[in-house]
């Protein structure tokens, strides 16, 4: 493994997309007879599972998305990994899957990143090492019931910056589809939520929008999510607002931005309902998540109106400041709140 760590990966770091690249090591652990095994690093990127696995038929599958960052000094660091571990635990509990302990989750992620340290892009490229922990229900099964065996695994792949030409606003359209049921799995990061989003996302892109806006499934009057990301708006009174709903995925990026907006930028912050017919209360808006950090929203197409926020071509100043602040913490250029950054020992 030491030899693999020290070799040079020949990649055009500045031109990476967001796509799968096989790296050298991943972590894998099996749950059987009521307990997790010790787990191990593996070079094999293929799984062999039973055709009866509940993950295949009944969607008993959950995952996380996170990144490792190379600092200017060459160190490697993770951003709030315990929060990902806790969210995966909540998702697993929702699907009656065994929880993979928080400390073991973080340790597994650190092991995989350290073993693939030569795949972490250089600081100046703006690229990162994307980390995908996941859990699936496996084993011989045919009935609608929880699996009797499970696999937890973590793999990594280098990805480029989301905005190749720099941070830029894009437009979105309100969807007539629901992302999740009012008391369903919307607050859990489970596979079925994303499978259901493929069709409305494709329809939005066919109309030349970046993605779709999902409204609350009960009344279809309030904004909930933007594609696979959380929504935020900044009012004319400089208040950072995000939707409050039990069917929204609790984004780690969103809660980080809420904290930074209040404690670093001095903005007011609120989690509350955001009504579609009151968009004019916001001077800036965006979507936030792991992949893009922030996707500035230029405008939103409703059934009979196109509402523009700050601009369709220029990023709002507060949105830009939030983006710069968060990414500076992630890449080690700015000191973050206590406990947000964990160094990886290579």
Instruction: Kindly report the backbone phi and psi dihedral angles of residue 205, in degrees, each rounded to the nearest multiple of 5, phi listed first.
Output: -70, -30
- Pair of tokens at residue 70: 């190379």
| Whether 230 contacts 248, CB under 8 Å | yes
Nearest partner of 50 among 120, 126, 138, judged by Cα: 138
- Pair of tokens at residue 259: 């904290």
Would you report the helix, strand and coil content of the chain in percent, each value rounded to 5? Answer: 25, 30, 45
| Whether 67 contacts 290, CB under 8 Å | yes
Instruction: Kindly report the backbone phi and psi dihedral angles of residue 210, in degrees, each rounded to the nearest multiple of 5, phi listed first.
Output: -65, -40
Q: Which residues of 159-170 are buried (b: 16+ CB within 10 A; e: fewer)?
A: bbbbbeeebebb
Does 189 participate in catalysis according to the annotation?
Answer: yes
User: Which residues are registered as beta bridge partners of 28?
Assistant: 40, 153
Q: Which of 67, 189, 222, 254 is catalytic?
A: 189
Burial class (CB in 10 A: 0-12, 13-18, 19+), 208: exposed
Burial class (CB in 10 A: 0-12, 13-18, 19+), 213: buried
Nearest partner of 126 among 330, 317, 288, 344, judged by Cα: 330
Residue 222 DSSP one-character state: B
- Pair of tokens at residue 43: 């070079």
Nearest partner of 252 among 84, 68, 92, judged by Cα: 84
State the Cα–Cα distance between residues 213 and 300, nearest whole angstrom.
8
Residue 49 DSSP one-character state: -
3-state secondary structure of 87: helix
Q: Which residues are catalytic?
A: 189
């Amino acid at each position: 493994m030491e030899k693999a760590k020290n070799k040079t990966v020949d990649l055009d770091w500045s031109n990476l997309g967001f796509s799968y690249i096989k790296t050298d090591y991943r972590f894998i652990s099996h749950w059987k007879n009521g307990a997790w095994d010790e787990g191990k690093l593996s070079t094999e990127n293929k799984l062999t599972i039973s055709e009866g696995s509940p993950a295949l038929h009944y969607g008993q599958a959950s995952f996380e998305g996170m990144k490792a960052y190379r600092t200017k000094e060459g160190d490697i660091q993770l951003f709030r990994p315990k929060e990902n571990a806790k969210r995966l635990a909540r998702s697993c509990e929702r699907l009656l899957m065994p929880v993979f302990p928080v400390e073991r989750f973080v340790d597994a992620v650190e092991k995989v990143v350290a073993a693939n340290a030569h795949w972490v892009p250089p600081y100046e490229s703006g690229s990162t090492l994307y980390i995908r922990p996941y859990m699936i229900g496996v084993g011989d099964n045919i009935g609608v019931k929880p699996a009797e065996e499970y696999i937890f695994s973590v793999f990594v792949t280098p990805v480029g910056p989301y905005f190749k030409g720099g941070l830029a606003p894009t437009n979105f359209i309100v969807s007539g589809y629901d992302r999740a049921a009012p008391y369903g799995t919307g607050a859990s990061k489970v596979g079925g939520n994303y499978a259901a989003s493929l069709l409305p996302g494709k329809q939005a892109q066919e109309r030349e929008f970046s993605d779709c806006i999902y409204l609350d499934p009960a009344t279809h009057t309030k904004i909930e999510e933007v594609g696979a990301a959380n929504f935020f708006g900044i009012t004319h009174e400089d208040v950072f607002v995000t939707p409050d709903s039990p069917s929204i995925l609790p984004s780690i990026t969103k809660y980080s931005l809420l904290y930074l907006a209040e404690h670093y930028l001095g903005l007011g912050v609120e989690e509350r309902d955001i009504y579609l017919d009151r968009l004019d209360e916001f001077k800036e808006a965006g979507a936030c998540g792991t992949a893009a950090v922030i996707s500035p929203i230029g405008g939103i197409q409703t059934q009979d109106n196109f509402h523009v926020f700050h601009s369709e071509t220029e990023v709002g100043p507060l949105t830009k400041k939030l983006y710069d602040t968060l990414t500076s913490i992630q890449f080690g250029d700015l000191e973050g709140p206590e406990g947000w950054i964990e160094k990886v020992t290579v």
